């Protein structure tokens, strides 16, 4: 337990400014921290072939409780989410999707984290990065298409970072493969995830591999390179832990490669993501003998590059390029996409309280359908403790 009462869990990095609000029982038998964060935004959309529109909403509203019971080796983290877009629209037979994280951790020493419950699994870097510590208002299009999501199961981490020299982390999980609060159908097919992170020039300041932008202004160059793989056996949904129910179960394979470099206010983040199936992506409804009722696993690959510079006054300029290429099989339904984003962030209390603005243009290229070009402009306030 550090003196800023933060639960520094490798599985669930969380950005907070200052010492936080930690409540300890009079008999010191437990600690209980309360945190929240809120993201309010308004977006103007101009999409080819549609009327322009404005969307304004509470994009994220999270309550987080963490601490220990008995002694600091026995930790818990609970995160609840209340925003409409986090829940998704209600459909018959769904579960209510308020719980994001609910996990017990045993941390016998600084090297090992052993968890049981629901939390993020070690996939690509930007997904593990808290949405409260992004420098643009949301993750890239490749994250929404190809990443792995929170899941329930066992989480085993071995951490071996060093402050000034070569270090590494090994992170793994065995989970149900069906994602958050899934309770509709069960099988024997699990998801197996493993990840290696290396830090050739030593650790980032204040766990900086897991917040975006060089807010710490690293005085020596810092680098993280990581590679992760997941096998999701007999996935039930189009995107594994998320998406609609597939008509047939699919085995999914994922590869994630990430790189982060920070130095003197500059930050570069790059990512490669891939989801593929064994055999065809298409799943057919066996009850429809004409074969015209089907859906598909969202297969493909993508690349993100993101570069930023933060000025002395904590104003940051950010550019991002994303290229997202679904497999040819499904490109009549899901377009090849190129996205260019330019953003400005003003950090008032680091990532805990910031104002953000961005403009994104998007080119979508379909097989057998008319291509489209869209753009949007957005402002956002994030505030939290």
Using CB under 8 A, which residues numbered 81 to 140 contact a copy of itself? 82-85, 87, 89-96, 98-99, 102-104, 116-118
Site for a copy of itself, residues 230 to 289, rule: CB under 8 A: none
Told to check if 74 binds a copy of itself by CB under 8 A, we report yes
Closest approach of Cβ 250 to a copy of itself, in Å?
Answer: 17
CB 245 within 8 A of CB 236: yes
Task: Choose the stretch contacting a copy of itself; rule: CB under 8 A; options: 35-43, 127-135, 257-265, 357-365.
Answer: 35-43
Residue 166, phi then psi, degrees to nearest 5: -50, 130
Of 241, 250, 228, 220, the closest CA to residue 157 belongs to 228
Closest CA to 183 of 95, 96, 98: 95
Which pair of tokens denotes residue 175? 């989970």
Interface with a copy of itself (CB under 8 A), residue total: 76
Do 319 and 345 meet the contact criterion of CB atoms below 8 Å apart? no
384 binds a copy of itself (CB under 8 A): yes
Give strand pairing partners of 128.
Answer: none
183-222 footprint of a copy of itself as x/- string (CB under 8 A)? xx-xxx-x--------------------------------
Q: Figure out which of the listed residues 48, 55, 200, 371 binds a copy of itself, where binding follows CB under 8 A.
A: 55
Nearest-angstrom CA–CA distance, 33 and 94: 31
211: CB partners within 8 A, 6+ apart: 13, 15, 129, 130, 133, 351
Q: In angstroms, rounded to a whole number, what is the distance separating the alpha carbons of residues 231 and 246?
A: 17
> Which CA distances in Å does 317 have to 211, 286, 299, 381?
16, 52, 32, 16
Write down the least CB distance from residue 340 to a copy of itself, Å.
Answer: 23
The CB-of-75 to a copy of itself minimum distance in angstroms stands at 9
Shorter beta-carbon distance to a copy of itself: residue 69 or 367: 69
Minimum CB–partner distance for residue 99 and a copy of itself (Å): 5
| 23: contact with a copy of itself by CB under 8 A | yes
Residue 367 binding a copy of itself, by CB under 8 A: no
51 touches a copy of itself by CB under 8 A: yes
Nearest approach, Cβ of residue 243 and a copy of itself (Å): 17
Q: Which 148-177 positions form the footprint of a copy of itself (CB under 8 A)?
A: 152-153, 175-176
Question: 182 vs 282, which CB is nearer to a copy of itself?
Answer: 182
- Cβ partners under 8 Å of residue 27, min gap 6: none
Best CA proximity match to 381, nearest among 15, 42, 14, 17: 42
């Amino acid at each position: 337990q550090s003196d800023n009462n933060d639960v520094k869990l490798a599985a669930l990095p969380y950005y907070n400014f200052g010492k936080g609000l930690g409540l300890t029982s009079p008999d010191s038998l437990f600690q209980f921290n309360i945190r929240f964060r809120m993201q309010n935004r308004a977006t103007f959309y101009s999409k080819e072939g549609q009327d322009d529109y404005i969307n304004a909403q509470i994009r994220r509203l999270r309550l987080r409780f963490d601490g220990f019971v008995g002694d600091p080796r026995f930790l818990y983290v609970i995160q609840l989410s209340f925003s409409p877009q986090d829940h998704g629209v209600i459909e018959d037979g769904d579960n209510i999707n308020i719980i994001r994280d609910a996990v017990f951790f045993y941390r016998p020493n600084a090297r090992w984290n052993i968890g049981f419950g629901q939390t993020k699994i070690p996939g690509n870097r930007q997904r593990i990065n808290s949405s409260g510590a992004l420098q643009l208002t949301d993750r890239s299009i490749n994250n929404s298409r190809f990443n792995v999501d929170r899941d329930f199961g066992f989480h085993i981490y071995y951490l071996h970072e060093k402050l000034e020299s070569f270090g590494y982390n090994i992170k793994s999980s065995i989970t149900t493969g069906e994602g958050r609060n899934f309770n509709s159908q069960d099988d024997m097919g699990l998801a197996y995830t493993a990840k290696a992170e290396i830090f050739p020039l030593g650790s980032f300041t204040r766990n900086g591999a897991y917040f975006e932008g060089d807010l710490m202004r690293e005085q020596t160059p810092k680098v993280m390179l990581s590679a992760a793989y997941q096998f999701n056996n007999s996935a039930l949904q189009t995107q594994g832990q998320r998406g609609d129910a597939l008509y047939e179960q699919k085995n999914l394979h994922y590869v994630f490669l990430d790189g982060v470099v920070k130095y003197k206010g500059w930050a570069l983040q790059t990512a490669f993501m891939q989801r593929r199936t064994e055999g065809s992506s298409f799943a057919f409804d066996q009850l429809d003998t004409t074969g015209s009722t089907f859906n598909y696993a969202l297969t493909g690959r993508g690349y993100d590059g993101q570069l930023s510079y933060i000025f002395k006054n904590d104003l940051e300029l950010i550019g991002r390029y994303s290229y997202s290429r679904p497999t040819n099989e499904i490109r009549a339904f899901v377009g090849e996409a190129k996205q260019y984003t330019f953003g400005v962030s003003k950090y008032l209390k680091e990532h805990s309280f910031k104002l953000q603005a961005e403009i994104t243009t998007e080119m979508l290229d379909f097989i057998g359908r008319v291509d489209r070009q869209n753009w949007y402009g957005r402002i956002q306030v994030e505030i939290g403790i």
